[in-house]
Structure formats: C-alpha cells, structure tokens
Amino acid sequence: MQRTKISKLLEATELDVDIHVKGWVRTKRGNKHVAFIALNDGSSIHSIQIVADPNTIGEDLLKGVSTGASISVFGKLVASQGSGQKVEITAERIEVIGVADPEKYPLQPKKHSLEFLREIAHLRPRTNTFGAIFRIRHAMSYAVHKFFNDKGFYYWHNPFVTGSDAEGAGEMFRVTTLDPTNPPLTEDGKVDYSQDFFGKETNLTVSGQLEGELGALALGEIYTFGPTFRAENSNTTRHLSEFWMIEPEMAFYDLTDNMDLAEEFLQFLCQYALDHCADDLAFLEKRLIDEDKVKPQAERSPMTLTDKLKFVVENPFERLTYTEAIQILSNSKPNKKGKFQFPVEGWGTDLQSEHERYLVEKHFKKPVILTDYPKDIKAFYMRMNEDGNTVGAMDILFPGIGEIVGGSQREERLEVLTSRMAEMGIPEEDMDWYLDTRRFGTAPHSGFGLGFERLMIFVTGLSNIRDVIPFPRTPGSAAF
Ligand code: 4AD
Ligand code: MG
C-alpha cells in the first residue's frame, strides 16, 4: 500500500478509511494507556496526530518512537476528538524505520535559535521553520518559471564557468586546475593560463547577463535562473557568496518597458505567495509576532508578513531618478538626531542601504524604482543617456531590504559601447563575441537581475539571508 502524503490527509473528506503514512516524529507524549505522536513528512507545516495504544502497537516498539525517528504507520483516518486538528490516525501497526537516539539527536522538541540551527544546516530542514521556508522557496521558484513561461519567455541556460567578468567588479572565484604552489609562468613572470584546463583564465559566473543578451538578441525574450558567485568580502545579512539570480533579457525593450516588467513580476511573485503559501506564511507570521513581543517597541516590525506582501501588490512603485533621490536624501531628517549613520555624500556616490530603506519605508512608503544613475558607479554595458553623465540604470528598492533588483537598458550602439569600454580599461579583444551582437543586427534591449534570496527574505520575513537558502556560502563559511 502506497503511503499518502500528510498534506492530502489533512484535507481528506472521506473518514474511517485504511491509510498508510511515513514520516519523522516531531513529538511523542501520553501515558501507559495511550501515546500521541505528531508525525510530519515535509508535505505541510502541519503534523498529523497518530493515536497509538501501547497494547496493540507494543510498548517496546513505542520506545523507539522518539523525536526525529522515521516511522511507518498503518491505521485508520478518523475524526479527531481533540481540539487543534480535524482528523487523526488511529494506529493499527507501526514500524520504526530509523531510530534517533534522544540523548544525541540535536533537534529537541523546543524552540532552537536560528544561530544554533545554522550550525546544523544538515538537519535544520526538519524543523517547522525551515520546512516552511524551503517549501516557500520551491513555490517561488515555480512562480518565476510560470510568470515567464506564460509570457512566452524562454528559459536560457548559461555556463557557470566563464571567461568574462560581467559586472567588471573583479569579484570572481577563479576556476583552475593549475598547482597553486607551482603554476607555469610566462616569460614575464605571470601565471601562464594558456596551460590551464580551458587554455585561458576562467572564473565562476558573477552574472549571466552578457550571455543572456546573446539569447535575447536571437530568441527575443529569455530569462536565466541559476546560481551566481561573488567573491566580495561583504559579511552582511544581505549578501551571499553563492546566490541565485533571475535575469530576464528582452530585445526591443526600453527602460520603461523594463521597469513595467520588473514591477509586474515582483507583484506577481508576492501575490503567488499569498495565494499558494498561506499555511507556511501563517506559521512564519506567528513566529515573527512572538519574536516581536519580547523586543522593544522601536525594533518591532511595523507590518505583518501578509500586509507587507499586499503592500507590494497594491501600491504602484514610485519611480524617480537617482538625482531626485539625492535631493530628497540631502534634505531629510531620518531620525531624532536628523542624521544618517553614513551621510549622503552628494551626487556621484552610491547609496547605502539605510538611504534606500529610508526612501521606501519613511519617505514614499511604497516600493521605489531609482533610475538614471551616474555612469561612474555602474557597469560598462548600461546605455548612456543624452547628458553624457548618467546611464539608463534602474534599481528597485524594497522595505526591509533596500536593493532587490538591479537592471538597465543596454548600450546597443557599437561606438558608444567601445568608447565606454576603453574608458574603463576593458580590452575589446576579450569581448569580441559580445560586440558582434552590436556589429550585426543590433537592437535596443533591456534586462534586470532579481536576487532570489533577497526576495526570499522579503517573503518569509527572516532577517538573515543565511536562513533562506539550504546551504549558505559566505566569507569564511561553507560547511560541507
Ligand atoms: O545589481 P547586480 O549586481 O546586477 C547584475 O548582476 C546585473 N547583471 C543584473 C542584470 O541586469 N541582468 O545584482 C542583481 C541583484 C541585486 O539587486 C541583488 O538583489 C542580488 O542580485 N545580489 C545579491 N544577492 C545576494 N548576495 C549577493 N552578494 C548579491 N549581489 C547581488
Ligand atoms: Mg546592483
């Protein structure tokens, strides 16, 4: 008899039928006459209650049914006498598949801190909190594909190993099979990468955009969705060294079309979470409310999780230029002292996340799209504006996050692009393949990148990016 998933049983309308479930024990309580086992199989935030009579099931066997053990249960689905659940299972036979020694199993039935759970990343998916997070992660991934597929975009697969630095920031992890202690050298004493595995210097991708542009200029509209690697030494709650990015790229889109698409996309994802992740969101929301109770008023979240998602769905995003934002920030009094921790240094410098969050949370009170940044703080591929100082960039800022999306219209004019590359010291010969798209049938095009884990922080309300990816990689930390 095949097992039935617990999520299905919890919705079942037919009672007193024979069923078979398998899963992991969350808790066991009871007495000599009856045992109540909460069983979870990962299909739902809810566990199902198994009622077991030690006389039928065997007292000795029930000893092996402890928190963390995996068991198989045959029994009948019946209406529950207790409060808190509609149905439960009366056990007829239980098999212990794998024991979990209560003396040694690290996940006891109590609330563990997220810091502790990070230390046992291999077991934390078995907790309610991480079960909820990773089910939502799945739902959001599916929603990404659904959104683009329904719009006729093609899922475009980029290489992870590449010879280019798309962002020009030099934050790459090198891929090499050369012996680091004794690499071959050229005549002028540099490492000779022509003798390396791929015959050239290669690294893990920092962004699939440039290859994505090749796809868009052939198939029209494409998107990528895959891991991205950055060797930036940012040990913050918003940065990972390995994160997942979604990068749509569209031929014949200008910056406004790009903003319209990004706004629709983010609103779709938030609505999808509201529609399809209600139980997991309700659990995480309660968790946040409980945490808030012990915090001082000032540190409490101003909005519940569902309110935040609705806030994105219901508010058209505010659109303004970087220059306008600098004016607003320069005239702002963000707190009682009237100062930002990092002062706004004026036109030409990058914004700090406290500035971004101020614009969203205090000034406009809605998501914000900032456009037309100074060329000197953006990548070489962004389209030069008429003024010669700014480029057609767009960053989307979210409450509690700051930048969640970065994108731009791309420079499609060959001469403008090559002179920009020369200014920035990017050798043309390395980028011949990219420049060919501008030499042959060039066309205006645009795209953006959504950091999937930044989206996940927003949707789940977790405050550390290490808690929304199964196996976080950050500077100094890549357990197994
Ligand atoms: O702004 P970024 O660097 O833009 C690009 O890579 C462009 N090539 C995207 C494009 O136009 N196709 O990164 C895009 C987004 C950021 O807005 C942020 O959400 C996320 O990726 N991101 C990170 N997320 C987690 N950890 C990091 N270290 C991240 N760096 C960027
Ligand atoms: Mg960016």
What ipTM was reported for this prediction? 0.99
Nearest CA, atom 26, ligand 1 = 239
The interaxial angle of helices 255-276 and 305-314, nearest 10 deg, is 140
Helices (H) and strands (E) in the chain, counts: 14, 16
Q: Which residue's C-alpha comes closest to atom 19 of ligand 1?
A: 451
Coil vs helix vs strand at 299: helix
105 and 130 share a domain?
no
Residues with CB under 6 A from ligand 1: 166-167, 207, 209, 230, 232, 239-240, 243, 245, 247, 403-408, 447-449, 451, 453-454
- Residue 83: pLDDT over 90: no
The whole-number pLDDT of residue 103 equals 94
Residue 71 has pLDDT above 90, yes or no: yes
- Look up the domain containing 363 and give its range: 126-171+206-467
Q: Which residues of 296-312 are buried (b: 16+ CB within 10 A; e: fewer)?
A: eeeeebeebbbebbebb
Residues 352 and 231 in one domain: yes
Residue 476 lies inside a defined structural domain of this protein: no
Distance, CA of 68 to CA of 25 (rounded, Å) = 5
- pLDDT of 200 > 80? The answer is yes
- Tell me: do 293 and 420 sit in the same domain: yes
Give Cβ neighbours of residue 393 (< 8 Å, ≥ 6 apart).
322, 371, 372, 373, 378, 382, 406, 407, 408
Q: Per the domain annotation, does 357 fall within a domain?
A: yes
Pseudo-torsion of CA 297, 299, 305, 306, nearest 10°? Answer: 40
Please check whether residue 22 is in contact with residue 38, taking contact to mean a CB–CB distance below 8 angstroms: no
Please count the other Cβ atoms lying within 10 Å of the Cβ belonging to residue 58.
Answer: 14
Question: CA separation (Å) from 330 to 254, 323, 336, 361, 374?
Answer: 30, 11, 16, 16, 17
- Residues at Cβ < 5 Å from ligand 2 ion: 406
Tell me: the pLDDT tens digits for 399-458?
989 999 999 999 999 999 999 999 999 999 989 999 999 999 999 999 999 999 999 999
**Ligand 2 centroid to residue 450 C-alpha, Å:** 9
Q: Could you tell me if 408 and 372 lie in one domain?
A: yes
When mean pLDDT is compared across 35-49, 105-119, 148-162, the lowest value belongs to 105-119
Whole-angstrom CA distances from 72 to 41, 336, 356 are 11, 60, 51
pLDDT in tens, 293-344: 888 877 777 788 999 999 999 999 999 999 999 999 998 888 777 788 888 8
pLDDT in tens, 216-265: 999 999 999 999 999 998 889 999 999 999 999 999 999 999 999 999 99
Using an 8 Å Cβ cutoff, are 285 and 129 in contact?
no
Q: Residue 5 has which token pair?
A: 């998933």
Distance from C-alpha of 317 to C-alpha of 121, rounded to nearest angstrom: 36
Looking at the fold, whether 346 and 238 belong to one and the same domain comes out as yes
Instruction: Supply the pTM of this predicted model.
Output: 0.95
With 70 as the cut, is the pLDDT of residue 56 above it? yes
Q: Is the same domain home to 153 and 66?
A: no
288 neighbors 301 (Cβ within 8 angstroms)? yes
pLDDT the model gives residue 36:
97
Both 132 and 105 in one domain: the answer is no
Ligand 2 geometric centre to CA of 440 (Å):
29
Residues 315 and 443 in one domain: yes
Exposure on the CB side of residue 94, measured as CA atoms within 13 A: 33
Same domain, 21 and 167: no
Residue 478 lies in a domain: no
| pLDDT given at position 291 | 84
70 and 212, same domain (yes or no): no
Number of folded domains that form the chain: 2
Same domain, 147 and 255: yes
Q: Which residue has its alpha carbon closest to ligand 1 atom 7?
A: 449
Q: Comparing C-alpha atoms, which of 247, 199, 251 is closest to residue 226?
A: 247
Nearest to 407 by CA among 219, 212, 241, 268: 212
CB 277 within 8 A of CB 285: no
- Cβ atoms of 213 and 410 closer than 8 Å: yes
CATH number assigned to the domain comprising residue 266: 3.30.930.10
Residue nearest to atom 4 of ligand 1 (CA): 406
β-sheet with 242-251: strand ranges across? 154-155, 221-229, 242-251, 445-451, 402-409, 390-398, 368-374, 318-321
Would you say residue 480 has pLDDT above 70? no
In a domain, 378, yes or no: yes
Minimum-distance ligand 1 atom for the alpha carbon of 454 = 19
